[in-house]
Structure formats: structure tokens, C-alpha cells
Amino acid sequence: MRKYIGISVILILMALLAGCSKKDGEKVYVYNWGEYIDEETIKLFEKETGITVVYEEFEQNEDMYPKVQSGAVSYDVVCPSDYMIQKMIENDLLYEPNFDNIPNIKYIDKSYLESAEEYDPGNKYSVPYCWGTLGILYNTTMVDETIDSWGVLFDEKYSGEILMIDSVRDAFAIALQYLGYDLNSTNETELEEAKALLQKQYPLVQAYVVDQVRDKMIGGEAAIGVIYSGEAIYTSRENPDLEYVVPKEGSNVWIDGWVIPKNSKNKENAEAFINFMSKPEIALMNFDYITYSTPNSGAWELIEDEEIKNSPVAFPPQDVLDRCTAFRYLGEEMEATYIQKWNEVKGE
Amino acid sequence: MVKKFFERFYVGFILFFLYAPIIILIILSFNSSKSRSKWGSFTFHWYKELFKNQSIMNALYTTLIIAFLSALIATLIGTAAAIAINSMKKTPRTIMIAITNIPMLNADIVTGISLMLLFVAMRYTLGFTSVLISHITFNIPYVILSVMPKLKQLNPHTFEAALDLGASPVYAFFKVIMPDIFPGVLTGFFLAFTMSLDDFVITHFTKGPEINTLSTKIYTEVRKGIKPEIYALSTLMFIAVLLLLVIINRRNADKKQPVRKI
Amino acid sequence: MKISNLLNIKTPRSPIQKTGVNSLGIRNAKWLSFPYILWMAGFIIIPLIVILYYGMTTNDNNLTMDNIATILNPINLRALRLALELSIISTVICLLLAYPLALILDKSKMKSNSFIVMIIILPMWMNFLLRTIAWQNILERTGIINTVLKFFKLPMLNIINTPSAIILGMVYNFLPFMVLPIYNVLIKIDKDIVNAARDLGANSRQTFLKIILPLSLPGVISGITMVFVPSLTTFVISNILGGSKIVLIGNVIEQQFRIGNWHTGSGLSLVLMIFILISMAILSKYDKESEGSNLW
């Protein structure tokens, strides 16, 4: 009897080991935001190129940076936001891709490449993937007024109804802009004022969330939430009572772009991946799936639904964009100050 | 009589407390809406989708293979160690048992982090092997502590008798000692398997991008909303284990043998 | 101590052991422990040294106490204090819930105690993250409890994203670790002792206080350890049920590693480790049964 057990154990073990040995082919390690790609497009890429995609997700820029920097894992393609790309360029973490291998960059709209120059002068390191604004999502059945200001987030009337964003720069941007300051402020008194405002907000907040805001707003858990514009299309699809607005005080406009870290081991595969994702049809698939605005004009032209093509949420009019500012990287010291102050807010 | 009723009620209350979330999860696996907070209609859709979802099946596969391998290796090392420790003198034995207790007392987060720091310091790429090593590490103590008591109950003279009768030590070991400690070894194996299956924190810190276990897969999904396929998979696993345990229990009851613990 | 009680493996020592004779008679069995010793040295001792190294150095490899001193930062201190409060409260609640349960189960006529153990351990086969998320569904404002309360026009229960929800999560997740050790100790108490006490005129309260309670103490202490340590250090439960509004020491450490401050994170981990060791050392004073074979 025991003999049989022994034999079967060995057999199972062998079967498992055989299944476990992976094909050692071409690979590309992609590190992207959570739910930020249509998995179909990855399969199409694998089929077309024969390169295996190893895919991992992060929740915030601040989580991604140390992982890339420490080099514990060498990623080939990463998708940080503007200010984080700037930081990575300044700290010499990025590789200058050979744009001959990324011809599809021609589909990226000129205006976005121009905006990208602010953090990536000369467009040498990054290829824009998605962009959007930061704004307020509110449930029209739970709020009587028309919302157009960040002020509602600090209004005691909505105590317990507010979902605040759990991301340092975004949270401070909201407070700074509500106070009338620049969202890239490095002024100590302004930051202290913003911190005090956020501390005053703490008891009103139901929860600090990033991605979870989606489910909670759809389910009607809260009346007001801070959200990225890309999520707003999805949420209003699931729950038509939800309305998105970019407050009048102004907001943050951001671009997330593909970059290749210096310690990447498969740089050519990385370029192929970026090129593939910039194809209009592929960009469109991703837009349809994740509903974040695409800077790909080729993809935009392919959008069939006129309502979405002209959606003020996905492609806001110029006057909205005019009151939005992009984040800049503020230096290591300032970054630590922000984090410290944010911890003081949350450690209440 | 009142007391009896109260006791029944109390046990029922605790069981309800323990099982309420599980009932919720099982219900959610039949929810046609993708969102956790909205009830659509009743569907088996996610059970069909589950088997088509490559990333979940991969995570399940990784989870099971790591649980199996780590439990197996931990059982080999742990059983050998238990036999050795059992034959030691008091002082070395005390030291060995103290070391065995470290991973149990240490917070998961500290164990996970310290292992991650070690792998990174040694420039060892985080991935399947690093997770496997970590799981073996926290599994060995469970095996040792399951086997030790069985060893203590052994009669040493049978082993010596076997040797005197001309058996080789290895032969004697498998014929005389192994059958007696086997229940303990088995308990250790299953305990290690369960612990590996349920671990999140240590895997979270020691894994690389190439692999996901069910726990880490779920953790990344917590934020964006859990895919309903996960509920379906958990329901299937839960029911499988439930059936298995009921069958084992039946068989044991039939045989009217004293039932082994756990 | 803890695991042995969980497993119900505190067997009486065989008489052979007492004579001090090598119980197995395997000569030179020591080499069998070499793989284990190597493994433990490599993956338990050395990692602890690495964490000690990180905790006591700066980025430039200079020796410093600053990382450890960050625990004195008011935010971190508050996180530690809150974690302590919540974990002590949950441990007490677990004990209060588990002890009567273990007594009832012990008294019940159910012959197969493996069935009882199984019923209590079975929920662990559903991933603990999922079980914790399910509590969100139960406790949320639009959740099950509140829907029911609303239906009966009763006031809402607002405990999601508060410390109460975290305590509930801790109690829920770790209750089995309190029930099992106590139950396993109780079933091993010789019922003749209890009967003898009764015959000698002790009432049920006296029997409980003088006989059952003292004899079950090792199980209680195992249970306390197994609930207190994971509660104190959790970051997942507070994340999921606290809405990131409540920061515990586990969250602080996890955040430090997430944003790349490995040195600070290690320093705080060291503090936490020392903290746990001290608590266990104090607790073990009450565990008279462990007779040195279990360190803590």
C-alpha cells in the first residue's frame, strides 16, 4: 500500500515539475496600473510577435518607483504618470528608446506630444498611453445641488458621504487648488494650510480610496467621490445617476506614458510592445475596455459611438483643459515633505 | 433545559458568525452583475468563465503546486529533523525547539520582509523559487511539531530488535518506525498544505512579477473589484474540501476507530 | 507552545523518555537534522540578521539608530498604540467568545472531536482576503445588515471604516485560533479530577475556578498568543475594513516598504519584533506547563 503511495507521489511530483518548466522564449516584463489594459490586446501581441508578456500591476506612482529603482525585478515597459516620468529621467533610470522601432508614434496627436514635452523634453523617453483629468463624481439622487467646486469635499453637510482619494499628490492638489494655490506648490505655509484643510476634512471622509471608489460609487455607498476622468465613463455606464465634473477652481490634467527602464533586459521587445499598443486599432480596444481617454488620434477617429467621441468627460473642451495644470516633479526633499504631511493627515 | 437551549443557541450563533461571510461569497458567485455591490440576477455564467480565465487558472495552479511542493519538502526535512531532535540531549534539544518556534512567533510581515531582504541582498530574482523557499521555511515547524509527539510515544526497543535481527537501519526505519509515526507525518503535511494555501503576507513580499498565487491575485483585485470568477473558484474549492472532510469523517466513524485529530 | 496546543499533541511522555535513554535507539541520528539546521540558519537566522542590518544602517551603510527612533514619531507612536488597543480588545473578545464555546463543545456528547475541529477550521479554506471582503458587503451602508435594518425602519449601523469594523475583522479571522487550543486542552482534562472535586463538595463555580480554569491555562495562553500577534501586526484587515482611514503599525511598516524606505521599515519591524518578544516573555510566566521545552 505504502509503495503505491510513494509511487503516486513521485508521479504527481514529476507531472507537476514537467508542467512547471516554462518555455524560455522571448519575454517582455510589463508593469502597469491596475486594470489599465484590455487583456485581449496582450494576447494579440503575443500571437503576433511570439513574445511572452509577463504582466504586473501597481496602484500608485509612488509604489512603482522603488520597485523599478531597486532593480529587484528588471521591468521592460512601465507606465508612470508625467511627474514620475520626469523624476525617473532626472534620476537617470530611463533608457532612450530607438523610435525607428516605434513608428506608430505618428498616431499620437501632436498636441499631446507637445504637452509631454513639459516632463519629457524632446519626447525622448516616453510615448503617451492615456490621459485624463481629476474630478468629482457625484450621485445625483443623493445630492440636491449642482456641484462645480472642490468645496463640497470640505462641506460638513456631506459628512460620511465623501470618498477622498488616497494618493499624496492628488489629495494635496485638491486642497491647494481649493485654497487658490498652485498644485505644484513648494511653499511651506501654503502646504501647511493645505494640510490643515485636509486634516479638517478627515472626520468628514468615509474612506480613503483609489481604485475602490468605482465599486463604492456604483453601489451608492457614498454621495461624492474623487475620481480620474477615465473611470467616470465606466461608472456612469453601470449607474446612470453618477455625474462627473471638473471643478471650477481647476484641477490636474495628467498623461501616463510608456517608458523603458535602463535596467531592462529586453529593450527591443519593449519597443515592439510600445509600438503595438500605439496602433490605432489596439489603442481603440484599450479605450473601449478601460475607458480612459486616448491620446491616439488614429484611435479617436475609429470611435464609432458619436456620443463617446464627443464626450466632454473623455475629451473635455478647451475651457476645461485651460483651468487644469499638470504635475511637475518637485525633487526628493519636497516629495518627502508631501508624504510626511499626508501621513500626518491620515494618522489622525 | 433552559441551559441546554442557551448552549445550543450559543454554538449556533458562533457558527453563524463564522459562516456568514462564506454564505455571502457563495451567493456572490451566482450574481450576474460584475460589481460586488449590485445584485443582477442568478447565473452560472462565472463558473463557465472561470475555466476560460487563463490568469485565474494559472494562479490556482501556482497556488496548488507551491502548497504541494512546500508541504512535501517541509515534510521530508521536518520529519528527519524531528527524529534527530528527539534523539538529542536536553540542551541542544531546547535550542532546536526554540529556533523552530521563531517563525511561529514572528509576525508574518517581519518573516516576509526579512526573507525578501535576504533574496534581494543575494541578488536572487524574486519569483517561483523564492516563494517556494519562504513557504517551506514557515511550513517546517508545523511538521516538526506534528511528528515529535508521535516519536515520543514510540517504543525504542522494536527498532533495536529489528537491527538485532539483521535488518539494515534504513530497512528497519521504514518497517518499524515509519508506520508508527506516519499519522503525525500526514498531519504535518496537511497542516503545511493548508497554511501554504492560505498565506498572503509572506507571498506578497517574496513574489516576483511572473507569478501570482490566488491570495496575491485577489489582493490586486480588491481595489478594482474582485472578478466574480474568483468567487466561483472559491466556492468550488470550499465545497470540494467540505465533501472530502465529510467523507473522511464518515469513513472514520464507520470504522469506529479512535479519530485522529485534525 | 502555541502550535502544539492547536494540534492537540501534548502527549504524556513515555516512561522511556524519563529514564533518559535515547528514545529511538537510532545511533548517529544527529545528521538527520543537518538539512533542517542549514535551512533554518539560511532562511530564519540570516534574514533576521539582514533585517537587523537594514534597521541599523542608512542608505550609505552608516550605522544609525534613526530608523529605530522613527517609532517615536508621534504618527508612528499613535499607530502602534492604536494597533495595541485594537489587538488587545480583539484578543479579549476572542477569549470571552471562545472559552464558553470550548466548554460547551467539551461537554457535548459528540464523540468525534475531529468533527468539531473540522467545523471550526473549515472556513479557512476560503481565502482570508475574500472572507474579509465579504464583511464589507455585510457591514456597508448599503450592505446586508443595513438593508435589513432599513426594512424594519431601525436606525442604521455605521461601523464600516471605523475601529469597530477592524476589531470585528480581527475577531472573525482569528477566533478559530483561540477556540482550538482551549478546546484541545479541555478535552484532555481528566474528568475524574472534576468528579473528585464534586464529591468533595465543591460547587460548580468552585470546580471551575479551582480545577478547570487553572488546568486550561496553557490553552488559553496559546490562544492569546495566536490571536494577539497577528492582530497586532495586520495591515490587510485595517486596509479592507478601515477604508485606509485607520493606520495601524502594520500599515506603517507596509507603507515604508511600498514607497522604498527599506531602512525605516526594517527599523520599525525590529521594534515590533522586540515588542512581541517581550509580550510573549511576560505571558510565558503564566505557562507553567511548558517546562522549558518551548522557549516562550
> Cell numbers at residue A108, please?
499620437
> Cell numbers at residue A73, please?
525585478
Given CB atoms, is B36 within the 8 Å cutoff of chain A? yes
User: What pLDDT score does C16 carry?
Assistant: 41
* Model confidence band, residue C25 (pLDDT cutoffs 50, 70, 90): low
User: What pLDDT score does C112 carry?
Assistant: 61
Interface of C with B in 212-271 (CB under 8 A): 225, 229-230, 232-233, 235-236, 240, 250, 253-254, 257, 262, 265-266, 269
> Cell numbers at residue C66, please?
534613526
Interface of C with B in 36-75 (CB under 8 A): 36-37, 39-40, 43-48, 50-51, 54
* Model confidence band, residue B226 (pLDDT cutoffs 50, 70, 90): confident
User: What pLDDT score does B17 carry?
Assistant: 95
Q: Which residues of C touch B230 (CB under 8 A)?
A: 130
Chains touching A by CB (3 or more pairs below 8 Å)? B, C
Q: Which residues of B touch C262 (CB under 8 A)?
A: 117
- B16 Cα to chain A: minimum distance (Å): 26
Report ipTM for this prediction.
0.82
Place of cell 533576521: C48
Check residues C116 and B20 and name the one with the higher pLDDT: B20
Are C243 and A206 a contacting pair at CB < 8 A?
A: yes
Of B147-156, B162-171, C149-158, least confident by mean pLDDT is B147-156
Look at strands A251-258 and A127-139 and give their pairing. antiparallel
User: What pLDDT score does B48 carry?
Assistant: 93
> Cell numbers at residue B34, please?
460584475
pLDDT per residue as tens digits for the range A279-309: 999 999 999 999 999 999 999 999 998 888 8
Q: Which CATH superfamily is domain A7-131+255-316 in?
A: Periplasmic binding protein-like II (3.40.190.10)
- Other CB atoms within 10 Å distance of the CB of residue C225: 27
Name the strand (E) or helix (H) holding A243. Answer: strand A242-245
Whole-angstrom distance, CA of residue B221 vs CA of residue B203: 16
Q: Which of B26, B24, B48, B28 is nearest to B38 (CA)?
A: B28
**Which residue segments constitute the domains of chain C, with CATH numbers given?**
3-293 (1.10.3720.10)
Check residues C21 and A82 and name the one with the higher pLDDT: A82
Position C202 pLDDT exceeds 80: yes
Given CB atoms, is C184 within the 8 Å cutoff of chain B? yes
**Which CATH code fits B54-217?**
1.10.3720.10
Check residues C148 and C110 and name the one with the higher pLDDT: C148
What average pLDDT score do residues B151-169 get?
A: 82
- A59 Cα to chain C: minimum distance (Å): 11
Mutation site, B19, B105, B218, interface C, largest C CB count within 10 A: B105
> Cell numbers at residue A283, please?
489603442
Asked if A255 and A131 count as a contact pair (C-beta separation under 8 A), the reply is: yes
- Which residues neighbour B132 within 8 Å (Cβ) at sequence distance 6 or greater? B66, B69, B70
What single-letter DSSP state applies at residue C62? Answer: -
Q: What is the mean pLDDT of chain B?
A: 86
Write out the residue limits of the CATH 3.40.190.10 domain(s) in chain A. Answer: 7-131+255-316, 132-253+320-346
* Model confidence band, residue C3 (pLDDT cutoffs 50, 70, 90): very low
Check residues A336 and C4 and name the one with the higher pLDDT: A336
What average pLDDT score do residues B224-247 get?
A: 88
- Which residues neighbour C69 within 8 Å (Cβ) at sequence distance 6 or greater? C267
* Model confidence band, residue B161 (pLDDT cutoffs 50, 70, 90): confident
User: What pLDDT score does C17 carry?
Assistant: 42
DSSP-derived 3-state class of residue A122: helix
Q: Which of A167, A303, A293 is nearest to A231 (CA)?
A: A293
Q: Which of A74, A182, A86 is nearest to A126 (CA)?
A: A86
- Which residues neighbour C72 within 8 Å (Cβ) at sequence distance 6 or greater? none
Position C269 pLDDT exceeds 60: yes
pLDDT per residue as tens digits for the range B27-59: 999 988 877 777 888 999 999 999 988 889 999
Out of B81, B152, B160, the one facing C13 most closely (by C-beta) is B152
Q: What is the mean pLDDT of chain A?
A: 90
pLDDT per residue as tens digits for the range A12-62: 555 555 444 444 689 999 999 988 999 899 999 999 999 999 998 888 898
Are B35 and A55 a contacting pair at CB < 8 A?
A: no
Position C10 pLDDT exceeds 80: no
What average pLDDT score do residues C20-27 get?
A: 49
User: What pLDDT score does A14 carry?
Assistant: 56
Check residues C193 and A174 and name the one with the higher pLDDT: A174
Q: Which CATH superfamily is domain A132-253+320-346 in?
A: Periplasmic binding protein-like II (3.40.190.10)
What CA–CA distances, in Å, run from C133 to A214, A335, B13, B21, C238? 15, 33, 21, 8, 11
Whole-angstrom distance, CA of residue C211 vs CA of residue B46: 54
In percent, how much of chain B has pLDDT > 70? 95
Of A74-83, B10-19, B72-81, C217-226, least confident by mean pLDDT is C217-226
Check residues C163 and B209 and name the one with the higher pLDDT: C163
* Model confidence band, residue A8 (pLDDT cutoffs 50, 70, 90): low
Position B193 pLDDT exceeds 50: yes
Place of cell 508521479: A11
Out of B38, B126, B224, the one facing A211 most closely (by C-beta) is B224
> Cell numbers at residue A5, please?
503511495
Out of C172, C225, C266, the one facing B17 most closely (by C-beta) is C172
Interchain CB contacts (distance < 8 Å): A and B? 62
Are B146 and C46 a contacting pair at CB < 8 A?
A: no
Name the strand (E) or helix (H) holding C49. Answer: helix C46-55
Q: What ranges do the domains of chain B cover?
A: 54-217
What average pLDDT score do residues A128-137 get?
A: 96
Q: Which residues of B touch A42 (CB under 8 A)?
A: none
In percent, how much of chain C has pLDDT > 90? 43
Position C231 pLDDT exceeds 80: yes
DSSP-derived 3-state class of residue A126: coil
Position B120 pLDDT exceeds 60: yes
Position C13 pLDDT exceeds 70: no
Check residues A131 and A69 and name the one with the higher pLDDT: A131
Position C61 pLDDT exceeds 80: yes
* Model confidence band, residue C14 (pLDDT cutoffs 50, 70, 90): very low
User: What pLDDT score does C111 carry?
Assistant: 57
